[in-house]
Amino acid sequence: MADEKIVLAHGGGGTLTRGLIEKVIIPALGGDAGGLPDAAPVPGTAGLVLTTDSFVVKPLEFKGGDIGSLSVHGTVNDLAVSGAEPLALSMGLIIEEGLDIEVLRRVLVSAAAAARVCGVRIITGDTKVVARGEADQLFVNTAGVGVRRITSDPRGLKPGDCVLINGPIADHGVAVMSQREGIDFRTTVESDSAPVWPFVRALIEVGVEVHAMRDPTRGGVAACCVEMAEGSGVTVELDEGALPVRRQVRAACEMLGLDPLTVANEGKIIAFIPEKDSARALEAFRKIPSGENAAIIGRVVERRRFPASMKTCLGGERIVEMPYGEELPRIC
């Protein structure tokens, strides 16, 4: 990669992102192939986990959320799907000269409100300002510390597992894109930005066996399933008919030429649960107000030719591919 440059698609959460992380970032940092997980145990502590996420979403405010609430949800969700209950957050701001202080205030108030709902506090922060044209309004980094309550291994998928999701997909990506492009879909699509810890806690409380969990953010359900299936040496078979997608979101995706499977979510969790426990897990998800449309959307089978596939509504089968690059830039 001697003369190679970063391209926008390196940030899309797909094949190019993985290549950059696995071939450049992890080796440079001296880590092994299992290095730099979304959330990692802190050495020298009893079950503490650390995670980080930077947010560059554009526009800063969108239907159903803003960069403030998103930066809280994104990070507490990385903790939650690693099985950790969030304890505290840090927040680093990179502000472009010229930002309205009122906008800054609004997104911070929103972040604090989101943190309260998540039962977590923003305890430390940092503020940097760069000149006009050196950033785009506001970038936010949040890091989070949590304490592990349940083991969740992203490579823990086993044949026979059911694939659960806690609600309809692709809302976040479609909400941000339609706002950015000024497209009006009649019925408003709102981001699903929300904490998923209540769903993890519900799984713990009903005592089901959990093999793996993940939040399907950048790259959507497709990237999530392909990556986890590859890491576990299995194949995930999705069932298109079972996949919850709101009508207006499906219409918007058709109009924008997007596959809902690859569109980002910010309040969704995918859990891989052994079949024996899957009905109880689904029931637990559905008891949570925002989980009423939870569904079993597929199952894990022995490894076939491709890591993920989907039975279509028309009775066929299609390969589910890792999105290559940046279909939706600056979505989170």
β 65-66/61-62 pair status: antiparallel
| 169 Cβ contact list (under 8 Å, min separation 6) | 216, 220, 221, 243, 244, 245, 249, 260, 261, 263, 265, 268
Residue of 15, 63, 117, 135 interacting with a second copy (CB under 8 A): 135
Q: How far is the CB of 226 from a second copy (least distance, A)?
A: 18
Q: Which two tokens stand for residue 51?
A: 């995670």
Asked if 186 is part of the footprint of a second copy (rule: CB under 8 A), the reply reads no
Per-residue binding string, a second copy, 91-130, x by CB under 8 A, is: xxxxxxxxxxxx-xx--xx-xx---x----xxxxxxxxxx
State the SS3 of 146-182. EEECCCCCCCCCCCCEEEEECCCCCHHHHHHHHHHHC
**Under rule CB under 8 A, how many of the chain's residues touch a second copy?**
84
* Range 233-252, binding a second copy (CB under 8 A): none
Residue of 15, 22, 24, 61 interacting with a second copy (CB under 8 A): 24
Residue of 5, 186, 247, 305 interacting with a second copy (CB under 8 A): 5
* Residues found in the chain: 332
Question: Which part of the chain contacts a second copy (CB under 8 A), choosing from 84-92, 162-170, 233-241, 273-281?
Answer: 84-92
| 258 Cβ contact list (under 8 Å, min separation 6) | 170, 173, 174, 177, 252, 327, 328
Q: How far is the CB of 260 from a second copy (least distance, A)?
A: 23
Residue of 14, 32, 33, 45 interacting with a second copy (CB under 8 A): 45
- The burial class, CB within 10 Å (0-12 / 13-18 / 19+), for 273 is buried
- CA pair distance 107, 101, nearest whole angstrom: 10
* Range 47-76, binding a second copy (CB under 8 A): 48, 50-56
* Range 143-172, binding a second copy (CB under 8 A): 143, 145, 147
Asked if 141 is part of the footprint of a second copy (rule: CB under 8 A), the reply reads yes
Asked if 314 is part of the footprint of a second copy (rule: CB under 8 A), the reply reads no
Pair 141, 55: CB distance under 8 Å: yes
* Range 255-294, binding a second copy (CB under 8 A): none
Question: Which part of the chain contacts a second copy (CB under 8 A), choosing from 140-148, 264-272, 277-285, 292-300?
Answer: 140-148
Asked if 8 is part of the footprint of a second copy (rule: CB under 8 A), the reply reads yes
If one counts every other C-beta atom within 10 angstroms of the C-beta of residue 311, the result is 16
Q: How far is the CB of 111 from a second copy (least distance, A)?
A: 7
Q: Which amino acid is at 312?
A: T
φ, ψ of residue 98 in degrees (nearest 5): 100, -10
